[in-house]
Structure 1
Amino acid sequence: MRFQHIVLASLSAILAFSAPATAQSIDYERLDARLSRLAADQDIVGLSVAVIDQGEIAFSKGYGVTEAGGPPVTDETVFRWASLSKGVAATEVAILASQARLNITDPVSKFATTLRLPNGGEAKATLEDVLSHRLGILPNAYDTRLEDGWEAADIRTSLRSLKSICPVGDCHTYQNVAYDSIAEVIEDVTQSRYADAVEASVFKPIGMVTASIGRAGLESAPSWAKPHSKRSRDLGPPDKKIVNDDYYRVPAAGGVNGSIRDLALYARAHMGLLPEVLSDSALDMLQAPRIYTRREQSSMSRRYSGTVRDARYALGWRVYKYGEPGYRVVGHRGAVEGYRSYILFDPERDTGVVILWNSSSRKPNGIGFEVMDMAYNLPFRDWMELDGEVTAGSH
């Protein structure tokens, strides 16, 4: 037995010596200084950032204020996660699938949902199609009706009156109202409220203490960021900031709130660091690319100079190739009125970044690229646009 231990120890030493170096060099002092500069921008109100470095939350900090004249943002300040909520819904489905309580190849019509598609497409569309936005209807179908106060269930039923733009499963067209049929599926399977199912299966097991679903969860937090945008309803005295309810009515698509600390814990789980919550098979299910997203690729190429390639959609997640030689990264972005959110990570290196802010500025998106560039030891680029246009430089 001791001989076996010696052999195994020797083999481990050889493998460790021969393994390719993956040293990372995230300069947290420099990152902090740049984030402080960004937070001073007049378009930034509050900002919260965390970095997971080789599996550990190495950096977690708030900048700015929760509202003009209000208290400072901390890493426990709660923001809306917007479309990062889609990954949460997909996570719940993956957990239920791992428990054999449903299958992602099940048709939507198997469950008690209000989703109706052109030509009875709900009988053909699978849960996988819903979670990867492959329903064959125009992008963001009838979001305007949601914003006009329609009930989400009524809108989902009315989708059957649309014309298909491709067969179910053949093209990617991003959805919110239709995507939220997943909340109905989860309620049908668990016989519980969607928020309760997610709390029990995702939030609590991961250790997320500020995460919630719905407006009440946001506004009851000890520290929460008020919405800020250039739209008229968000202008005026700090105590008159209005939280827009529209996308809380499609909770699987945009209903989650939480702090940056909880978002970092959530990211760690999706790196495979909590196998008792998310098994390898569940993560493979969630992160396997399903369809190429031409529109996303065009947008990323135009704004980020080819740093991100081969943009594809998985289940509630986006998957990209980053830099050279094309590191595989997983992420998503979110936006609702007065809030933005961002997550990007490399599941092989257990390294990534999460960002929350309460304004409509696009500049914080650049934080993710600056962090990942440092992680990969790539040349520095001013992705936050603190000095004007993005330019190449030395790391």
Structure 2
Amino acid sequence: MRLLRTLAICLAATLPLPAAFAQTIDYARLDDRISRLAAQEDIVGLAVAVIDHGHIAFANGYGVTERGGTPVTDETVFRWASLSKGVAATEVAILADRHELNLTDTVSKFRTSLRLPGGGEHRATLEDVLSHRLGIVPNAYDTRLEDGWEAADIRHSLRSLKPLCPVGDCHTYQNVAYDTISEVVEDVTHSSYAEAVEESVFKPLGMVSASIGRNGLQTAPSWARPYSRRSRADDTQLKRRVNEDYYRVPAAGGVNGSILDLANYARAQMGLMPDVLSEKALEMLQTPRVYTSGEQRRMSSRYRGTVRDARYGLGWRIYKYGVNGDRVIGHRGAVEGYRSYILFDPEQDTGVVILWNSSSRRPNGIGFEVMDMLYSLPPQDWMEIDTPATGG
């Protein structure tokens, strides 16, 4: 069965684009640009796929899985980091579509460890959790997770925080609190979170190497080892042990998979697999819930106004892109030694997904160069190959 699914994915990747669609993405230029990026010292390995009007038109690996190791391919497994949040939201949307829960259900309805200031868990809904509207300081107590605390104990301790705003009023990005969703899913499905996602998302979407947890990464036939740069002055250093911290919050950072897995997942988010993700489920996920001023400032500073009106749905960021304000949806992820990226236009069924095993931010620019091609915008050096890099 695994072989058959793999063959199906590879076939989809090689199918020609429909004649009705003029090719706007210059794949020869894109491949050359990424090859040049992969040769930079701050890059170890990366994988890139482009979905072009619904078809996986480009899926390549660059660089190596580790210094001196084997080449990255389109089947090499990476950590997805915070792209895991969209997977968690997708699982909840599927359960809501089946009427097994409601987005308006409060956290207190389920057996979870989340305790918020002033008993806020009795007011906070699943929608609030998935859109980061719990009213507490951003990334609350992530340092405790990194110090070895159990995630459930950290969630219980959140009640001692001073609220920044009433529940539902402001966006403050979370990891440990967000992972409350894994407890909700387990309570509803009566199975482990990993098993539930495997049955509802990974298998139906043909994500043949996707998994949750460190073991799923390290037992893959080809997997990327983590690298990180501690400072500008230091050489890129191998983190020989894959960090377990954020695997302990699987709904926030626990997913692994190949670039082909991520491309198929992106196709589903475009509405191309309605038997798995219905139009109703996608509306739940991709409807903006809150304006994210901090994200807008970051994107405006780095990408000079290319994206605006940054908002957050359920596990997804929503922007207006370019001079025409085309609606695009995406997310970024970063965990020690790995980064990830997804950006797509759901109206054109076109987008890009990227996975890499270093702390460089430059591969994010691949996404902008692809979207600029899609919208016929003037080319810019978003990968910072021909201009000085502005940061690692």
TM-score w.r.t. length of structure 2: 0.92
Instruction: Give me the whole-angstrom Cα distance separating, in 2, the residues matched to 1:71 and 1:145.
Output: 36
Name 2:80's counterpart in structure 1: 81
Instruction: Give me the whole-angstrom Cα distance separating, in 2, the residues matched to 1:28 and 1:105.
Output: 44
Which residue type is aligned with residue 278 of structure 2?
S
Name 2:198's counterpart in structure 1: 199
Q: How does 1:196-345 map to 2 (within 5 A)?
A: 196-231=195-230, 241-345=240-344
Name 1:51's counterpart in structure 2: 50
**1:354–1:368: 8 Å Cα contact kept in structure 2?**
yes
Which residue type is aligned with residue 362 of structure 1?
R
Instruction: Give me the whole-angstrom Cα distance separating, in 2, the residues matched to 1:228 and 1:174.
Output: 25
Which residue type is aligned with residue 104 of structure 1?
L
**1:52–1:58: 8 Å Cα contact kept in structure 2?**
yes
Instruction: Give me the whole-angstrom Cα distance separating, in 2, the residues matched to 1:47 and 1:226.
Output: 11
Name 2:126's counterpart in structure 1: 127
Which residue type is aligned with residue 53 of structure 1?
D
Instruction: State the secondary structure of the residue aligned to 1:349.
Output: coil
Instruction: Give me the whole-angstrom Cα distance separating, in 1, the residues matched to 2:388 and 2:30.
Output: 19
**2:120–2:167: 8 Å Cα contact kept in structure 1?**
yes
Instruction: Give me the whole-angstrom Cα distance separating, in 2, the residues matched to 1:164 and 1:69.
Output: 49
Cα deviation, 1:52-99, whole Å, max 9, x if unaligned, reads 000000000000000000000000000000000000000000000000
Structure (1 or 2) with the larger CA radius of gyration: 1
Instruction: State the secondary structure of the residue aligned to 2:271.
Output: helix
Structure 2 unaligned segments of length 5 or more: list them: 1-19
Instruction: Give me the whole-angstrom Cα distance separating, in 2, the residues matched to 1:335 and 1:359.
Output: 9
Q: 1:389: Cα distance to partner?
A: 4.9
Instruction: Give me the whole-angstrom Cα distance separating, in 1, the residues matched to 2:107 and 2:295.
Output: 26
Q: 1:241: Cα distance to partner?
A: 1.1
Instruction: Give me the whole-angstrom Cα distance separating, in 2, the residues matched to 1:155 and 1:231.
Output: 27
Q: 1:324: Cα distance to partner?
A: 1.6
After the TM superposition, list the runs of 4 or more consecutive aligned residues in structure 1 that deviate by more than 4 angstroms: 21-24, 234-238
Which residue type is aligned with residue 218 of structure 1?
L
Name 2:26's counterpart in structure 1: 27
Name 1:148's counterpart in structure 2: 147
Cα deviation, 1:229-252, whole Å, max 9, x if unaligned, reads 1249x98996x7110000000000
**2:89–2:315: 8 Å Cα contact kept in structure 1?**
yes
Cα deviation, 1:236-291, whole Å, max 9, x if unaligned, reads 996x7110000000000000000000000000000000000000000000000000
Cα deviation, 1:90-113, whole Å, max 9, x if unaligned, reads 000000000000000000000000
Name 1:110's counterpart in structure 2: 109
**2:44–2:357: 8 Å Cα contact kept in structure 1?**
yes
**1:288 to 1:152, Cα distance in 2 relative to 1, 3 A:** same
Name 1:68's counterpart in structure 2: 67
**1:228–1:235: 8 Å Cα contact kept in structure 2?**
no
Instruction: Give me the whole-angstrom Cα distance separating, in 1, the residues matched to 2:241 and 2:279.
Output: 41
Instruction: Give me the whole-angstrom Cα distance separating, in 2, the residues matched to 1:356 and 1:299.
Output: 21
Which residue type is aligned with residue 52 of structure 1?
I
**1:24–1:377: 8 Å Cα contact kept in structure 2?**
no
Name 2:370's counterpart in structure 1: 371
Which residue type is aligned with residue 248 of structure 1?
Y
Q: 1:24: Cα distance to partner?
A: 4.4
Name 1:6's counterpart in structure 2: none
**1:24–1:376: 8 Å Cα contact kept in structure 2?**
no
**1:63–1:72: 8 Å Cα contact kept in structure 2?**
yes
**1:237 to 1:125, Cα distance in 2 relative to 1, 3 A:** closer
Name 1:190's counterpart in structure 2: 189
Which residue type is aligned with residue 287 of structure 1?
Q
Aligned pair count reads 368
Instruction: Give me the whole-angstrom Cα distance separating, in 1, the residues matched to 2:150 and 2:51.
Output: 39
Name 2:353's counterpart in structure 1: 354
Which residue type is aligned with residue 307 of structure 2?
V
Instruction: Give me the whole-angstrom Cα distance separating, in 1, the residues matched to 2:35 and 2:76.
Output: 17
**1:129–1:168: 8 Å Cα contact kept in structure 2?**
yes
Cα deviation, 1:118-167, whole Å, max 9, x if unaligned, reads 00000000000000000000000000000000000000000000000000
Instruction: State the secondary structure of the residue aligned to 1:273.
Output: coil
Q: 1:23: Cα distance to partner?
A: 4.2
Cα deviation, 1:182-202, whole Å, max 9, x if unaligned, reads 000000000000000000000
Instruction: State the secondary structure of the residue aligned to 2:367.
Output: helix
